[in-house]
Structure 1
Amino acid sequence: MGFANVQRVIGFLIAASSLMMLPPVLVSWWYHDGTANLFLICAAILLLAGTLIYLPVRGARRELRLRDGFLIVVSSWLALVLVGALPFVLLITPQIGYVDAVFESMSGLTTTGATILSNIESLPHAVLYYRQQLQWLGGMGIIVLAVAILPILRIGGMQLFRAEMPGPQKETKLTPRIAETAKALWMIYVGITTACIMAFWLGGMSLFDAVGQAFSTVAIGGFSTHDASLAYWDSPTIEVIAMTFMVIAGVNFGLHFTAWRRATMQYYFQDPELKAYTLLLFLFVLLVSLALFFSGTYPDFPSALRHGSFQVVSVMTTTGFTTAPFFEWPGFLPTFLIFIAFIGGCAGSTAGGMKVIRIVLLYRQAVREIRRLIHPHAVIPVRIGGQKASPTVMDAVWGFFFLFIASFAVVTLALTATGIDAVTAYSAAGACITNLGPALGGAGLNYADLNNTAKLILSLTMLLGRLEVYTLLVLMTPAFWRD
Structure 2
Amino acid sequence: MRRESYIRRETLRLPLFLLLFGIVSVSMLVPAGHGFAVRDPDTGRAFLYAGLVGLVVFVMVAVAHSGRESQKSALGPLLSLFCAFVFLPIFMALPFVEVLPTTKFINAYIEMVSAFTTTGAAVFDDPSRLNPSLHLWRAQVGWMGGLLMWIAAVAVLAPLNLGGFEVTAQNEPGRRATAFTQMAEIEPRQRILRSVRTLFPLYMALTLLQWLLLMGSGVAPLTALVHAMSVMSTSGISNTGGAETAGAGFGGELVMFIFMAFALSRLTFSKDTITGTHSALRNDPEFRIGLAIVAGVPLVLFARHWLGAYAVAAENPLDEAFGALWGALFTVMSFLSTTGFVSEFWGQSQNWSGLGTPGLILMGLALIGGGVATTAGGVKLLRVFALYRNGVRDMDQLVHPHAVSGAGVAGRRLQSNGAFIAWIFFMLLAISMAVITLALASVGVSFENALVMAVASLSTTGPLIQYAAEDPIRLLDLAPAAKAIFCAAMVLGRLETLAIIALLTPDLWRA
Q: 1:64 to 1:406 in 2, by over 3 A?
A: same
How far did residue 97 of structure 1 move? 1.5
Q: Cα–Cα, structure 1 residues 431 and 293, in superposed 2: closer, same or farther, change >3 Å?
A: farther
Distance of 1:237 and 1:222 partners within structure 2: 18
Native 8 Å contact 2:163 2:499 kept in 1: no
Q: Name the counterpart of 1:43.
A: 51
Distance of 2:413 and 2:116 partners within structure 1 = 35
Distance 1:92 1:279, change over 3 A: closer
Q: Write the mapping of 1:283-302 to structure 2, written as runs, cut at 5 A.
A: 283-296=296-309, 300-302=320-322
CA contact (8 A) 1:288 1:333 kept: no
Which residue in the other structure is 2:432 paired with?
A: 407
Q: Which deviations, in whole Å up to 9, do the C-alpha atoms of 1:200-228 show, x marking residues without a partner?
A: 00000122221111111111111111124
Q: For residue 462 of structure 1, what is the aligned residue in structure 2? A: 490
In the alignment, the residues of structure 2 paired with residue 481 and residue 266 of structure 1 have an alpha-carbon distance, to the nearest angstrom, of: 34
- Greater Cα shift, 214-223 or 232-241: 232-241
Please say which of residues 29-38 and 366-375 is displaced more in the overlay. 366-375
Question: Are 2:296 and 1:276 aligned?
Answer: no
- 1:56-75 equivalences in 2 (<5 Å): 56-75=64-83
How far 1:105 moved relative to its partner?
0.6
Q: Give the 3 Å change call, closer, same or farther, for CA 196–157 of structure 1 in structure 2.
A: closer
Equivalent residues of 1:156, 1:397 under 8 A apart: no
Distance in 2 of aligned mates of 1:24 and 1:387: 47
Q: What is the letter of the counterpart of residue 470 of structure 1?
A: L
- Decide which of 341, 364, 372 is 2:397's aligned counterpart: 372
Question: How do 1:304-453 residues align onto structure 2 when only pairs under 5 Å count?
Answer: 304-323=324-343, 330=355, 333-376=358-401, 378=403, 382-383=407-408, 385-387=410-412, 389-391=414-416, 393-438=418-463, 439=465, 440-441=468-469, 444=472, 446-453=474-481
What secondary structure sits across from 1:176 in the alignment?
A: helix
Verify the 8 A CA contact 1:318 1:351 in the aligned structure 2.
yes
Greater CA drift, 311-320 or 176-185 = 176-185
**Residue 330 of structure 2 contacts residue 343 of structure 2 at CA under 8 Å; is this kept in 1?**
yes
Partner Cα distance (1:407, 1:98) in 2:
27
What letter matches 2:240 in structure 1? H
| Identity across matched positions, percent | 27
Deviation at 1:254, TM superposition (A): 5.3
Asked if the contact 1:29/1:36 (under 8 Å) is kept, the reply is yes
Q: Which blocks of at least 5 consecutive residues in structure 2 are unaligned?
A: 1-11, 171-176, 273-277
Q: Compute the displacement of 1:294 (Å).
A: 2.6
Deviations 1:337-379 (A, max 9, x none): 1111111111111111111111011111122223334445555
Mapped partners of 1:37, 1:407: distance in 2: 42
Q: Distance in 1 between matches of 2:456 and 2:218?
A: 30
RMSD between superposed Cα atoms in Å: 3.0
CA shift for structure 1 position 67: 2.8
Match of 1:262 in 2: none
The alpha carbon displacement at 1:268 in A equals: 2.1
Checking the alignment, whether the CA contact within 8 Å between 1:33 and 1:125 is kept in structure 2 is no
Distance 1:382-1:75 versus aligned 2 partners, 3 A rule: farther
Letter in 2 for 1:12: L
Partner of 2:7: none
Instruction: Read off the aligned partner of 2:55 and give its amino acid letter.
Output: L
- Measured against aligned partners, the alpha-carbon deviations of 1:169-208 in whole angstroms (never above 9, x if no partner) come to 4327524133112211112111211110111000001222
**Partner amino acid, structure 1, of 2:165:** M
Please, which moves more after superposition, 386-395 or 190-199?
A: 386-395
Give the conservation status (yes or no) of the 8 Å contact 1:65–1:173: no
1:195 equivalenced with 2:209 (yes/no): yes
Any conservation in 2 of the 1:320–1:437 contact (CA below 8 Å)?
yes
Partners of 1:161 and 1:33 in 2: CA distance = 54
Q: Does 1:185 align with 2:213?
A: no
Corresponding residue number in structure 1 for 2:109? 102
Map residues 150-161 of structure 1 onto 2, 5 A cutoff: 150-155=157-162, 157-159=164-166, 160=168
Q: 1:136 aligns with which of 143, 166, 173?
A: 143
Query: Which of 69, 76, 86 in structure 2 is aligned with 1:78?
Result: 86
Judge conservation of contact 2:264–2:370 (CA < 8 Å) in 1: yes
1:11 deviation in Å? 2.5
- Number of aligned residue pairs: 472
Any conservation in 1 of the 2:16–2:77 contact (CA below 8 Å)? no
Q: Which one has a bigger Cα radius of gyration?
A: 2
- Contact 1:110–1:139 (8 Å) recurs in 2: yes
Q: Which amino acid aligns with 2:380?
A: K
Distance 1:22 1:146 in 2: 27
For the structure 1 residues 157 and 441, does the alpha-carbon distance in structure 2 shift closer, same or farther, using more than 3 Å as the test?
A: closer
Structure 1 residues 253 and 372: alpha-carbon distance in aligned structure 2, compared to 1, 3 A threshold? closer
The answer to whether the 8 Å contact 2:13/2:70 transfers is: no
Question: Structure 1 length as normaliser, TM-score?
Answer: 0.88
Letter of the 1:112 counterpart: T
Tell me what 2:261 maps to: 247
Whether the aligned pair in 2 keeps the contact of 1:156 and 1:399 (CA below 8 Å) is no
Tell whether 2:230 aligns with 1:216: yes
